[in-house]
Structure 1
């Protein structure tokens, strides 16, 4: 299944750091998200785009994961010639990630 089947996302940026939240549509799916969407898998998913560390923060009370990705925006908004300097499309790209099917 695709991540977008059970979650939505928002992004933010500061300099060359991209922040992506992954929020379960249904809080009962948070444990599945936490198991399937690791910092390592996110970094691998963005090979060639994210060149720094990826750190995951868990917010179980709202059914969300937050990923902070260093060196992810080609130098940052004011220094990049990228078509999407803020990294807003990274949310859609992450939601296309393949994860294991729900077992409920």
Structure 2
């Protein structure tokens, strides 16, 4: 079966605190939360963001909200005040996650 884009089943919000990125991914439909929790692992997130030389990725499950929150250490090139990058807040990294191809929901 053909993989699907995460953005067809979920949306995301990103935030920052220093050099740490927080990305929350929420399923559009409640029936897709179990699929999201199964497929969107810390390993997949780390692989997607590996071009940033990130540190630890932690995942927090938010089943009542149908979402997952990922906290990614060392993802923002030193943080808002230190980074020379264009996206110092990491907002575009949420779009990178939404571009992931995953096995389709059941």
Q: Specify if TM > 0.5.
A: yes
* 1:92 equivalent in structure 2: 95
Matches within 5 A, 1:1-104: 1-103=4-106
| Structure 1 runs not aligned, ≥5 long | none
Number of residue equivalences: 103
Residue 50 (structure 1) shift: 4.4
Equivalent-residue separation in structure 2 for 1:76 and 1:53 (angstroms): 16
Does the CA-based 8 Å contact 1:43-1:50 persist in structure 2?
Answer: no
Does the CA-based 8 Å contact 1:8-1:23 persist in structure 2?
Answer: yes
| Structure 2 runs not aligned, ≥5 long | none
Runs of 4 or more, structure 1, over 6 Å off, are none
Change (3 A) 1:9 1:82: same
User: TM-score with structure 2 length normalisation?
Assistant: 0.95
